[in-house]
Chain A
Amino acid sequence: MKSKQNFKNIILYLLPALLLYSIFELYPMIQAVFLSFYKWNGIGGANLKFVGFNNFISIFQDKVFWMSIKNLGIFLVLGIVSVITISFFLAYLLSLELKGTKFFKVTFFLPVVLSVTAVSLMWKMILDNNYGLLNTLLTNIGLGNLARAWLTDPSVCFIVIVLINSWIFIGYYTIIMLAQIISIPKEIFESLNMDGAGEFTTIFKAVLPLSWDVIGICIVLVTANIMKAFDLVYVLTSGSFGPSDINQIPVGLIYYKSFISDQFGQGSALSTIVMILGISLSAVMYFKIFQKADNN
């Protein structure tokens, strides 16, 4: 097709997407960075005062900020490890195509499509200190001493939150890894079988290395998901992010600074920090993982 004639149409087809994206996503991104350098108290058109890097300094001096970073670290490590190992394991089991695999597939993926808000509320009720399912169950089977305030006890609450996030999303990554494992040629399994390799050997020497690419993609996706996880933590902590900020996370702090404490400048500064963090983490993971895959 003659490209010159078509150029007008090409632009026509691209225009809605470009406009929508530029106005409502890109421009806000730039504005967020811009606002980081100002002190500003409200959307109601209050004064904008240039303060240079003061917002950033305030953020870095804020104890809650460091708490949120620490929580993010826990979230990432525990989240990635739990999701990737369990998903891989489940994907392997599903790849064996035992009877009933289809039922398992449909079931495992189910939590992924449900509203995170609804699911969080459900877990909040289950983990309730006095009337929740979990504590009542533990007490009934004689393990009452394990019962605790799962969502407010500082020693376990954030871990519980991370595990709920994993519970929701494991099915998603299981399906992705399953597609990968299924695509491994049967001949590899057959030849390993003939060489007398046991199942564990097959998994660790064949399936795992061959799936490293996809595992890498999943790690990046899990990271992106965790960086953005707001709904879950918000609902589980009833909007407070834990007694005394113990469950605070960076995106939660952005929300708090911007909409609760009216410190928009700081909120924007934190947004900028989070954006940079997100992009660098993605870049680092992308290169580390895909270098390793190339070496394989």
Chain B
Amino acid sequence: MKSLRVRLNYTTIIKYFLLLVWTIITLYPLIFTVVSSLKTQNDMFSNLFGLPKAIIFDNYIKLFTQIKMGRNIINSLIVSTCTVALQMTISSAAAFVLARFNFRIKTGVRVFFMFGLLVPIQSVMVPVAMIAKQVNGYNSLLFLTVIYTAFQLPYYIFILTGFMKNIPKEIEESAVIDGASFHRVFINFIVPLSIPSIASLSILSFFSAWNELLLALILLKKDTTRTVSVALLTFAGDMFADYPGLCAAVVVTVIPTVIIYILLQKNIVQGIAAGAVKG
């Protein structure tokens, strides 16, 4: 309930102060980085705190022309969108049967998947690299997509199953009475009703794939196939003295996620809060 009268007693002021302190701690480093990316190196080192003496976009231009970061962005985009598409299709199908049907091996299957939630990806990097060697998966965006999907499966199946369980039985029953087949029930009834959940999970899946570092680092060895995270690391090594340049690279890396976040944050936040509190 919002209080209609804003009582300005000192406790309220203190509360705002604390919230503002954390806001500054959160936002200032980010804003500083954006502002710095618009400066020349001289400007940055002589004028660390101020606004740019002259706003220049050279750092960004350099990223796309000289360093060809555009290619890395496209790679990340391909991997992330394909991972989301593959992930949501496979998980929702699996979640559908785990949530709406009873069959003998159901519990076993659920536990089978849950096991994957506990395992850190670093524990399996070597075997995965071995598989990559055998199927020629190095430098393959497709292989990376498949790996990302496989590793995220337990988490998304877990959440989607929980969500789909809450859909009322009557909807399914009336669909069957109307003659809907197994597949129809899924495609025309359960999926549309699960859209809110699928939407927020899609966003999370996209972010996971976009931000992932380790597997991309191990599997993508050629400059042309690298994703954004790995490219960023390479720049950090190559242009280590060029702080404004690095700031620009950082900004370019996070801008897609920030845009998606600002537009869709309600979905994201809902998805997480619901999953954790119910789950």
Contacts and interface: CB of A to CB of B under 8 A. Distances in A.
Contacts of B211: 114-117
B10 interface: no
A284 to B, nearest CB: 13
B232 interface: yes
Given A14-B109, A110-B26, A115-B210, A278 B126 contact: no
A96 B15 contact: yes
A1 B185 CA distance: 11
Contacts of A218: 276
Contacts of B182: 1, 6, 9
A104 B15 CA distance: 12
Interface in A149-200: 167, 171-172, 175-176, 178-180, 183, 186, 199
Nearest to B28: A133
B124 A29 contact: yes
Contacts of B207: 113
A251 B214 CA distance: 11
A103 to B, nearest CB: 8
A35 B126 contact: yes
B167 interface: no
Interface in A74-114: 86, 89-90, 93-94, 96-100, 104-111, 113-114
Contact of A107 (B23, B89, B125, B229): B23
B250 A121 contact: yes
Q: Which secondary structure dominates chain A's binding surface? A: helix
Chain B contact residues (Cβ within 8 angstroms of A): what range?
Answer: 35 or more
B130 interface: yes
Given A13-B97, A121-B232, A228 B261 contact: no
A131 B42 CA distance: 12
Contacts of B277: 176, 179-180, 183, 214
A108 B273 CA distance: 14
Interface in B151-208: 151, 153-154, 157, 172, 176, 182-183, 186, 207
A255 B249 CA distance: 26
A282 B233 CA distance: 32
Contacts of B119: 25, 29, 275, 278
A123 interface: yes
B94 A13 contact: yes
A16 interface: yes
A208 B176 CA distance: 47
Contacts of B273: 175-176, 178-179
Contacts of A289: none
B269 interface: yes
B151 A3 contact: no
A168 to B, nearest CB: 10
Nearest to A186: B1
B120 A278 contact: yes
B47 to A, nearest CB: 11
Contacts of B123: 29, 32, 251, 254, 271-272, 274-275
A255 B38 CA distance: 36
Contact of A279 (B118, B124, B157, B279): B118
Nearest 10 CB-CB pairings of A with B? A28-B127, A179-B273, A24-B150, A17-B94, A271-B123, A28-B124, A251-B122, A31-B127, A115-B211, A13-B93
Given A13-B186, A121-B232, 8 more contacts: A17-B93, A20-B146, A118-B249, A179-B274, A214-B276, A258-B126, A264-B126, A274-B123
